[in-house]
Structure 1
C-alpha cells in the first residue's frame, strides 16, 4: 500500500503517528484537520510528498525526521501558524524550504540537521521571529545563510557543525547564546560581531578562517567559552606558563569591586596531524566588605570566603582527554 485508502472524515483527528511507514503519500486532496495537533511520520523512508495541510491550522508539532525520499514541503505549510516544533532531521533529499515558512511566527524549534541536499534557507526565515533553536548540522550543500537570520531576535542556539561548504556568516542576532560551527572547513569570513556576553562559540577545525575573523573571536568579550584552531596563545594573554597552572599577580590593593580573569589553553592531539586548538574561559572575582572574595564562575555559582577556588572543566568532542584549570584567589594573588 503506497497511500491511505479512501478516507472521508478526519475532522476530529488529534494525533497521527505512523513512524516507519511504507507509504509514499498520505492522501490526495485537502482534508479538514482542524483538531490535528501532532503528526509524526518519522523514518517513513518512502514518503515522497505531504498532503495539503492548509486546513491543519491547530497543528503544533510535525515530525518528518528520516523521511529520506521527501524532496520538498508543500507551500501550504505556511498555514500552520500555531506550530511550535518542526523536525526535518536527516531528510537527505530535501532541497529547499518553501518561502511560506516565514509565516510560522510561533515556530520555536527547527531541526534541519543532516539535510545534505538542502541548498539554502529562504530569506523569509527571518520572519519566523519566535525561532529559538535552529540546527543545520551536516547541511553540506549550504554555502551561505540569508542576512535575514539577523532578524531572529529570539534565536538562542544556532548549530552549523559540518556545513562543509559554508563560506561566511552574516550578522547574527544578539540573543544568540550558542554558536557551533565545528568542521566548517570552508568558512573564511565572519561578517558579524558577538555582543552577548554569555555566548558560547565553537569554531574547531575551521582552518580557513581569515585573520580578521580570528581577531574578532579573540577580542570577543564572553563569560562562556571560545574555541578555534590555532598554534599559539593570543598575545593578549600576558601571563603564561606550561602545564596546568600559571601565577597571576594582582597589583590592585585592595581588589576592585569586580575583577575578571580570562584563561586560555592551547592544546593539540598528536594522533590527528598535530592539530591544535585555542580554548578560553572566564572567571570573575568580586569583593565584599568584611567578607573577602566572592568568585563567580561561568555558571553563576560562587563561593564566599577569604580565599576561594574554582575548577573549570571543558571537553571538546574531538578529544578524549579532559583539561582543567584550577583557580585560587585571595586579596593579593590569583593562580590559574
Structure 2
C-alpha cells in the first residue's frame, strides 16, 4: 500500500472490545496525507512512524501513552485531534511542526502539562484542551496566530495561564482561571468573544466577575454559564453586542449601557431582580425566564396572534414560549407576519420553531413619547440595578 494517501479506521460501538492488534513491524506509508483512527489499540505508534507528507492526524479515544520520542519533522501537518486519550500523560515536542493550524486535546484526563513548543506555533489558529482534569501548567503561549481561538474550560487544576497571546480573538475558560487572567486582561485588545464556564469539580465557585472586563473594548460577545454562586455581573464594555447567561441560579443584578443593538439571552437565572429585568428588556433582543407579557406591551393576548388598531411605523413585540420537550440547546428564531385586515387595523401573527409553543404575545407601538419613556425607564432601572449590585458587594 505504498501509494496510500487517505487512511480511516472507524469504531461503531465504544464497548471496550478493542480486538484489533497492530504488529510492531507495521509501517504507515510515507506518502500518507490523512490518518484517522478511532480507538487506536496500541500504547505507542510504530517505530518507523515518519509521515513527512501528513496533513491531518485524528486519533480520538486511542490507547496511546505517548506519540513519539524527540521531535518529528512533520512539516506539512496542519490539523491534529488527540481527544479522549485517557492514557496520554505528555504531548511531544512540536518544534518542527511549524504549519500546525489546529490542535485539539479534549478529555485527556491524565495530561499534566502542555509542551512549551506549542507557544511557538505561529500558525496555530485553533487550540482546544478542555476537560483535561489533571492539567496544571500551560507554559507561555506568546506567538499564536493572530485572531486565534483558545479553549480551556473544564481544566479544574489549571492555574498558571497568565502569559497567553494578546492576539487571541476567542477565549473559552473555566471560572477557576478568572483571578489569574484578570491580571493581564487589559492587554487583550484583539479579544472579541469570551466564554466563561463554571467548573463542577471546583468547590470554591466564583461569586463575581472582575470589574476589569469592562476594559476589553473590542469584546462583542460574552457567555457566562453554570456559575451557581454568581450574584452580579459588572459593567461590561460598550462594544458588547451579545450577552448570554445560562444557569447562574444566584444572579440578581446586571449592569448594562443603553444600547439599542444589544442582544441579551438570560436563561435559568430565576433570582434576577426587578430592576435587572427592566434593564435587560430595553435591549434590542431579550430572552428572560418568565410567564407573563410585561405591562408596557399594551396590546396583549393569549395565543400567537392579535389585532391592533393603529397607524404605526415601528413596534416592539414580546412572546411567552413553552418547550414541548427537552431535546438539548435551542436557538430559535421568531418571525412576525403582519396582515392588513381593514384601514388602520393590522393582525400580528408570531411563528417559531416546531419545538416551542407560543403561549401568549404582546405588541408595543412605538411613538416619540414611548421612546422617550423607554430611555427614562432604562436610566431609572440601570441606577437601581447598580445600587443593588453595590449592596451585594458590600454584603
TM-score bracket for this pair, using the shorter chain length: 0.5 to 0.7
Shift of 1:107: 1.5
Residue 105 of structure 2 corresponds to residue 105 of structure 1: no
**Partner residue of 2:135?**
70
Residue 260 of structure 2 corresponds to residue 260 of structure 1: no
1:1-336 aligned at under 5 Å gives the runs 2-3=65-66, 6-8=69-71, 10=73, 12=75, 14-15=77-78, 17=80, 19=82, 20-21=84-85, 22-27=87-92, 31=95, 34-53=98-117, 54-74=119-139, 76-80=140-144, 82=146, 84-89=148-153, 91-96=154-159, 98-101=161-164, 104-112=165-173, 115=174, 117-118=176-177, 120=179, 122-123=181-182, 124-139=184-199, 141-195=205-259, 197-218=260-281, 220-222=282-284, 225-250=285-310, 252=311, 259-266=313-320, 312-314=350-352, 320-323=355-358
Distance 1:180 1:205 in 2: 11
Shift of 1:24: 0.7
Shift of 1:44: 2.4
Distance 1:198 1:97 in 2: 37
- Larger CA deviation: 179-188 vs 148-157: 148-157
Q: 1:233 to 1:246 in 2, by over 3 A?
A: same
Query: Could you report, residue by residue, the CA deviation over 1:102-158 in whole angstroms, capped at 9, with x for unpaired residues?
Result: xx232222233xx47555462223422222322224446333222232233333321
Distance 1:238 1:311 in 2: 16
Q: Secondary structure at the match of 1:99?
A: coil
Distance 2:186 2:352 in 1: 33
**Partner residue of 1:332?**
none
Contact 1:262 1:282 in 2 (8 A): no
Distance 2:305 2:71 in 1: 72
**Partner residue of 2:384?**
none
Shift of 1:171: 1.9
Distance 1:242 1:37 in 2: 52
Distance 2:113 2:149 in 1: 19
Distance 1:194 1:183 in 2: 24
**TM-score, normalized by length of structure 2?**
0.59
Shift of 1:164: 1.6
**Partner residue of 1:302?**
none
Alignment root-mean-square deviation, CA: 4.1
Shift of 1:23: 2.0
Contact 2:120 2:141 in 1 (8 A): no
Distance 1:18 1:241 in 2: 52
Contact 2:136 2:160 in 1 (8 A): no
How many residues in Structure 1 have an aligned counterpart in Structure 2?
283
Structure that is richer in helix per residue: 2
Distance 1:244 1:92 in 2: 44
Contact 1:263 1:282 in 2 (8 A): no
Distance 2:264 2:193 in 1: 15
Contact 2:318 2:362 in 1 (8 A): no
Q: 1:247 to 1:185 in 2, by over 3 A?
A: same
